[in-house]
C-alpha cells in the first residue's frame, strides 16, 4: 500500500514569454505559497515536491503555425553543507541587523531570502524581497560575479577539504615486500577523487529535470496536437527542493514565423515543507522519569 502524503498544495506560474534559447525563469514557490495561504512560508526550508506539469501556450498561433521547446528545470537539494551555508549566511544577516539596533524577530513580514543564482532571468521575473548584506548586491545561493554575495561560495571558502589535489592517488603503493618491490601496485586505476572528503562542502552542482513540449493548432485537414510535460516521482516519495526555487532554462526553441513567443503554464504540487534552520548538532534533551522505590 502506498504511503499517504496528506494535503497537496498546487502552485501555478505563467513562465515567459520566451523568445530565444538560454532564457531563464525562476519559479519561487515559497513566495507564492505565502500569498496563497496568508502565512509565512519561509525560504529556510526544503519543499517536498511530488509533481510538476507544464504546457506550452504560444502567442498568436494560427493554423499552420507551430512551436516546440526543450530545456531543463534546475534546483538544489538540501545537503548538510548547503544547509550549513544557509544558516551561516542567515546568522551574518541577523548579527548585522543587531548591530544597527534592528531585531529580525520583531518583523513578522521579514524573511531571509537569497536567490538561487545571479544569472539574469526574463524581464519581469523579479525575485521579491531578496536578502542583501551591503544594500547593493543581492545574496544568491550561487553568485557568478560577486564572491562576497554567494552563500555557498563564502561558506566553501572557510571549509578545509580532506583532499584538494584532484590528481592524487586514491591509494599509495604501500610497503615493499618480498613479492613486490618499490613502486608496487596501488590497486586503483585512473585515480580520481570522488569528492573533497568533507561533507560540509556546499556543492554548486544543480539537480536537473529535462523537458520537451510542442504545440500545433492543426489545419483544416488535420487536428491540433499538443505535447506537454509531466513529472512524477514514485507515489510514496518526493523531491526535496532547497529554498523551494526552480530555474527553468530553454535550451532549444523553434517558432514558426507567425509565433512571436511562448509561455509555459506551470503547476507544481507540494506535499509540505520542512525547516533547515535547526542545528543538527544539538541533541534533544530527554526527560528522565524517576521511579520511587517501595
pLDDT of residue 194: 72
Which long-range CB contacts under 8 A does 35-38 form with residues at least 24 apart? 36/9, 36/11, 37/9
Locus of grid cell 501555478: 12
Residue 90 exposure: Cα atoms within 13 Å on the Cβ side: 21
**pLDDT tens string 61-117:** 677 788 999 999 999 999 999 999 999 999 999 999 999 999 888 888 999 999 999
CA–CA separation, 252 and 21 (whole Å): 6
DSSP-assigned beta bridge partners for residue 50: none
pLDDT of residue 115: 97
pLDDT of residue 5: 54
Sheet holding 245-255, edge to edge: 24-28, 245-255, 67-75, 207-216, 225-227
**pLDDT tens string 165-210:** 555 566 666 666 666 666 667 777 777 777 666 788 999 999 999 9
CA–CA separation, 199 and 237 (whole Å): 24
Per the structure block, which three cell numbers stand in for 211? 523537458
**Where residue 159 falls among pLDDT bands split at 50, 70, 90?**
confident
CA–CA separation, 242 and 274 (whole Å): 10
Decide if pLDDT at 242 tops 80.
yes
Domains in the chain: boundaries? 15-58+65-159+191-275
Span 120-146, average pLDDT: 94
Bond from prior residue into 17 cis (ω within 30 degrees of 0): yes
Say how many C-beta atoms besides its own lie within 10 A of residue 17's C-beta.
18
CB 61, CB 217: distance < 8 Å: yes
Decide if pLDDT at 4 tops 70.
no
Amino acid at each position: 500500500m502506498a504511503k499517504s502524503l496528506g494535503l497537496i498544495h498546487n502552485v501555478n506560474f505563467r513562465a515567459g514569454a520566451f523568445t530565444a534559447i538560454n532564457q531563464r525563469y525562476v519559479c519561487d514557490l515559497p513566495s507564492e505559497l505565502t500569498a496563497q495561504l496568508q502565512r509565512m512560508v519561509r525560504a529556510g526550508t526544503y519543499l517536498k515536491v511530488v509533481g510538476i506539469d507544464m504546457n506550452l501556450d504560444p502567442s498568436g498561433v494560427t493554423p499552420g503555425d507551430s512551436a516546440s521547446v526543450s530545456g531543463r528545470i534546475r534546483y538544489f537539494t538540501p545537503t548538510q553543507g548547503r544547509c550549513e551555508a544557509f544558516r551561516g549566511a542567515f546568522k551574518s544577516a541577523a548579527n548585522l541587523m543587531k548591530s544597527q539596533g534592528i531585531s529580525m524577530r520583531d518583523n513578522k513580514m521579514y524573511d531571509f531570502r537569497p536567490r538561487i543564482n545571479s544569472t539574469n532571468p526574463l524581464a519581469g521575473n523579479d525575485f521579491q524581497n531578496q536578502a542583501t548584506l551591503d544594500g547593493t548586491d543581492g545574496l544568491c545561493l550561487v553568485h557568478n560575479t560577486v564572491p562576497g554575495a554567494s552563500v555557498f561560495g563564502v561558506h566553501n571558502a572557510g571549509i578545509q577539504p580532506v583532499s584538494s589535489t584532484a590528481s592524487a592517488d586514491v591509494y599509495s603503493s604501500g610497503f615493499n615486500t618480498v613479492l613486490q618491490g618499490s613502486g608496487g601496485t596501488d590497486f586503483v586505476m585512473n585515480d580520481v577523487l570522488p569528492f573533497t572528503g568533507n561533507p560540509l562542502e556546499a556543492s554548486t552542482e544543480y539537480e536537473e529535470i529535462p523537458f520537451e513540449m510542442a504545440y500545433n493548432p492543426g489545419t483544416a485537414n488535420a487536428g491540433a496536437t499538443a505535447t506537454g510535460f509531466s513529472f512524477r516521482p514514485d507515489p510514496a516519495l518526493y523531491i526535496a527542493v532547497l529554498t523551494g526555487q526552480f530555474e527553468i532554462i530553454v535550451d532549444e526553441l523553434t517558432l514558426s514565423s507567425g509565433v512571436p513567443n511562448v509561455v509555459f503554464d506551470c503547476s507544481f504540487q507540494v506535499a509540505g515543507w520542512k525547516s533547515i534552520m535547526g542545528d543538527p548538532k544539538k541533541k534533544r534533551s530527554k526527560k528522565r522519569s524517576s521511579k520511587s522505590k517501595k
